Amino acid sequence: MSSSETAAVAKPARVRRTVSPRRFVQVATVTVFTLWVVVTSGAIVRLTASGLGCDNWPQCGDKPYPEKGGHAAIEFGNRVVALVGIALTLITWLAARRVEGLPRWVRNVALITALGTIAQIPLGGATVLLDLHPVAVMSHFLLALVVVAGSVVVAIEGWSHRRGLAPPAGPSWLRAAAAVGVVACAALVVTGTVATASGPHSGGQDIPRLGLSVSDTVYVHVRATAVFGVGLLVVGFFLWRRRSELPGIARGGALLLGVLLVQMAVGEIQYRNALPWWLVVIHVSLAATIWVLTVAVAYALQRPPAPLVAVARRRSRTA
């Protein structure tokens, strides 16, 4: 068989192994949502005092599944959701390797994201073996948010690969301010995590706390929220002024502001009502949403997918 005939035979096989950009965006988007669910389910475990429901890690008591008890079922459910998240990050990475033309660095980010989710397994086991030490619980939660950020970047890059990449949006100072906003949002989340670790919801019975006053940690957290909120108002104001040029990004900024306002209201209500666990769950899920939107808006300003900007900017990129 000649070399040309061999290539003709090999080409269909290569086509079958290729993942379309459209399919990749779908998988990456589902991965982002699933990792968000993992964060929320982890919060439910802690806030229902189910953290030691399956104390004999990696089993659940004497068996690999819960036999009885609501706490065990909640903890085991979180493990199942986390395994789905790990599987999806691995699928996203494998799919990224088969999307033609996708930058190699995006594939590397997908790989790092998958490795981060896998690292949650031993970290989660250590958290249980350490009897839910607050530092271990905080590390478990914060690593989950880092992984979520990586999945957001991969999803946005997949969208840009499919629909086109526009030039950086807005002036350089606005993009820099948005990047600083990501750092401010991280500080907001970390201080909120410390406040939770100082509060009554330890994840189980007789679990030691950080030894910090709840009122003191909330005081710091509120001020971190204020700093982030002021910065968001500044960035949002200039995005609104450029809404005709950057319609999609401006809508994302408006959505972020709306979620932040709801989050502030929930935080105030939960604090004045002795931190009921179900309100804290809502607070944590909104915090994860704010983190996703902050990373998405800041990143979209740096490397905006074409559908988020006006036609004139798309043409300038083409030119």
pLDDT score recorded for residue 316:
46
Q: Is residue 290 a contact partner of residue 256, using CB atoms and an 8 Å limit?
A: yes
pLDDT score recorded for residue 159:
96
Low-confidence spans in the chain with pLDDT less than 50: 10-16, 312, 314-319
Q: Is residue 148 a contact partner of residue 89, using CB atoms and an 8 Å limit?
A: no
Q: How far apart are CA 273 and CA 244, in angstroms?
A: 43
Q: How far apart are CA 229 and CA 251, in angstroms?
A: 17
Structure tokens at 210: 């950080």
Identify any residues that bridge with 305 across adjacent strands, giving them in sequence order: 165
Q: Is residue 265 a contact partner of residue 229, using CB atoms and an 8 Å limit?
A: no
Q: Match 């919801």 to its residue by tokens.
A: 201
Q: Is residue 145 a contact partner of residue 39, using CB atoms and an 8 Å limit?
A: yes
Cα atoms in the Cβ-side hemisphere of radius 13 Å centred on 32 = 22
pLDDT score recorded for residue 77:
84
Give 21-25's long-range contacts (Cβ < 8 A, gap of 24+). Answer: 21/99, 21/102, 21/158, 21/161, 21/162, 22/162, 23/95, 24/92, 24/95, 24/96, 24/99, 24/102, 24/158, 24/161, 24/162, 25/155, 25/158, 25/159, 25/162
Q: How far apart are CA 279 and CA 255, in angstroms?
A: 21
pLDDT score recorded for residue 206:
62
pLDDT tens, position by position, 113-135:
999 999 998 888 888 777 777 88
Domain boundaries, the chain: 17-163, 165-319
At residue 206, φ and ψ (nearest 5 deg) are: 55, 40
Q: Is residue 42 a contact partner of residue 86, using CB atoms and an 8 Å limit?
A: no
Q: How far apart are CA 244 and CA 248, in angstroms?
A: 9
140 contact partners, CB below 8 Å, separation of at least 6: 42, 120, 123, 124, 127
pLDDT score recorded for residue 2:
52
Q: Closest by alpha carbon to 189, among 288, 261, 120?
A: 288
pLDDT score recorded for residue 67:
63
User: Does residue 66 have a cis bond before it (omega within 30 degrees)?
Assistant: no
pLDDT tens, position by position, 83-118:
999 999 999 999 999 999 999 999 999 999 999 999
pLDDT score recorded for residue 128:
76
pLDDT score recorded for residue 204:
58
